[in-house]
Structure 1
Amino acid sequence: MIRKEINNKLTAMMQVRNEGNRYLRMVLDDVSQYVDAIVILDDGSTDDTVAICKSYPKVVSIGHSHISLYGINESVLKKRLFQRTIATSPDWILAIDADEVLENRAKEHIQSMINQTHTDWYGFRFYHFWKSMTHYRTDKLWAPFHYGPRLFRYMAGATYRWNDQALHGGSLPCNLVTDFPGAPSDLRIKHYGYAGSQEELQRKYNFYVQRDPHSEFCPRSHYDSILDENPILEPWEES
């Protein structure tokens, strides 16, 4: 396994489905500023999601799943996206969703993070924006904390294993933390998946309880908290 350390190439990979009227353009505008390439896997979109992705010069590969597998067999989607991404010969991979944006200062630091030899992955603090794009939630399991790795060095020949559960299985190989040296970063991810209306929150709640009726992959209390009437919110401040 060879660790490249100078002018490493950063490739973002993103799974999408019917994102045309949500945050997709904002996310692609942002990530295009600091990555070298973007790889997309479309999970059966029926809107203009694919056309939007094709309009961005840094999108170098787009795959298609004609039948949506999200919430049914998520691990298949993650593996397909990963295989399509490594086919582009990346040095580092950033897993980002179509409703997520790294905070502004990430653009100043991310190149130095990937141009070194001692750390193979980074985690980020995750902030869930709630019914707005200005305030994030701080109570219950929505409080900001470090998720698993989202940025990692790809090494041809290394063994990467995936969580095979149908839902909430993680965005990157599950053995990164145990098998490779890494570290949490103080950089933050802004997640806008819950920033919409009450009707959108209700749709997300319905989706999760229908796909996970026995709470195999997440506590039911966490799903129920999506519908809390008075969550605790704090205003976002760029650092």
Structure 2
Amino acid sequence: MEDREATTRPHVTLSMIVRNEEHRYLRQALETHRPWIDRAVIIDDGSTDHTVALCQEMLEGIPLTLIVNPASLFADEVSLRKQQWETTVATGPEWILNLDADEILTTDFGAVRNQLLGGTEDAIYFRLFDMWSDTHYREDQYWQAHAYYRPFLVRYRPEWTYEWKETPQHCGRFPLTIQHFAYGCHSPRVKHYGWARAEDRIRKYERYQELDPDARYGWKEQYESILDAEPRLLQWSE
């Protein structure tokens, strides 16, 4: 029964960029997403820890394309995202699930996976919650990503020509072209743990100060708010 379902269900390729994720959320992310995917494409962006080995361990038995960049390309994020996209589409995907290593889909996705991907929509949108701890997410004037739906799953259409937002930061995880796809907004959510630890917030703040000091590609007030001592937090509910 399980083998028959695996051969008939819509085919999903997980596409992910990783860097020094060994002691962060990668193990939990891959363990959560593994039952829903049929292939994985991982770009390791210059890790200096055992991230690559962790990917191989957690994805054993699943076809894996793993590219290791000798040095990080994140200072030019659009080039890195293009590399991720081009490597992924070279595998001939049906559906592309694009998640970062610190983003975890809620488990209710498993119950609706085949129904969502078997319809007429070419892009599936979810809400993303910026977790400020394991149990709380942030909501204030600077942090309200969860108020909007954004694409995480797209059906690859090889007949389309894909164009990108050509900025070195905040270029988007998918090409701009997918904005023209038929889409739907759905109830599974994405928990983003990139801000959940104080040391991660400090590291990200310092990185934005280095890569985008004038906030040409982001929002200066939001950058500054990263280190707020008492942000407004709301309890996460499953």
- What TM-score results when the alignment is normalised by the length of structure 1? 0.91
AA aligned opposite 2:135: T
Distance in 2 (CA, whole Å) between partners of 1:126 and 1:62 is 26
5+ long unaligned stretches in structure 1? 1-5
**Paired residues of 1:19 and 1:49 also in contact (CA < 8 A):** yes
**Paired residues of 2:105 and 2:189 also in contact (CA < 8 A):** yes
5+ long unaligned stretches in structure 2? 1-7
Superposed counterparts of 1:215-234, under 5 Å: 215-234=215-234
Superposed counterparts of 1:115-154, under 5 Å: 115-116=118-119, 118-130=120-132, 132-143=133-144, 144-154=146-156
- What TM-score results when the alignment is normalised by the length of structure 2? 0.92
AA aligned opposite 1:164: E
**Paired residues of 2:130 and 2:193 also in contact (CA < 8 A):** yes
Superposed counterparts of 1:73-88, under 5 Å: 73-88=76-91
Distance in 1 (CA, whole Å) between partners of 2:69 and 2:164 is 19
Identity %: 38
AA aligned opposite 2:64: V
**Paired residues of 1:146 and 1:184 also in contact (CA < 8 A):** no
Report what 2:68 is aligned to. Answer: 64
* Residue 106, structure 1, aligned to residue 136, structure 2: no
Distance in 2 (CA, whole Å) between partners of 1:155 and 1:8 is 15
Distance in 1 (CA, whole Å) between partners of 2:188 and 2:199 is 31
**Paired residues of 1:53 and 1:59 also in contact (CA < 8 A):** no
**Paired residues of 2:32 and 2:107 also in contact (CA < 8 A):** no
- Alignment deviations for residues 135-193 of structure 1 (CA, whole Å, 9 cap, x no partner): 1111123122225311100012212211121111111111211x221122222100000
> How many residue pairs align between the two structures?
228
Report what 1:180 is aligned to. Answer: 181
C-alpha RMSD of the superposition: 1.3
Alpha-carbon distance, 1:105 to partner: 0.5
- Alignment deviations for residues 41-75 of structure 1 (CA, whole Å, 9 cap, x no partner): 010111000111111222510012111111x1111
Report what 2:157 is aligned to. Answer: 155
Alpha-carbon distance, 1:88 to partner: 1.7
- Alignment deviations for residues 3-36 of structure 1 (CA, whole Å, 9 cap, x no partner): xxx6320111000000011111001101102111
**SS state of the match for residue 230, structure 2?**
coil
Distance in 2 (CA, whole Å) between partners of 1:40 and 1:212 is 26
AA aligned opposite 1:209: Q
**SS state of the match for residue 149, structure 1?**
strand
Report what 2:92 is aligned to. Answer: 89
Distance in 2 (CA, whole Å) between partners of 1:184 and 1:141 is 23
Distance in 1 (CA, whole Å) between partners of 2:125 and 2:223 is 24
Task: Could you list the structure 1 runs, at least 4 aligned residues long, displaced by more than 4 angstroms after superposition.
Answer: none
Distance in 2 (CA, whole Å) between partners of 1:59 and 1:28 is 14
Report what 2:3 is aligned to. Answer: none
Report what 2:4 is aligned to. Answer: none
**Paired residues of 2:125 and 2:185 also in contact (CA < 8 A):** yes
AA aligned opposite 1:183: G
More helix by share: 2
Report what 1:205 is aligned to. Answer: 205
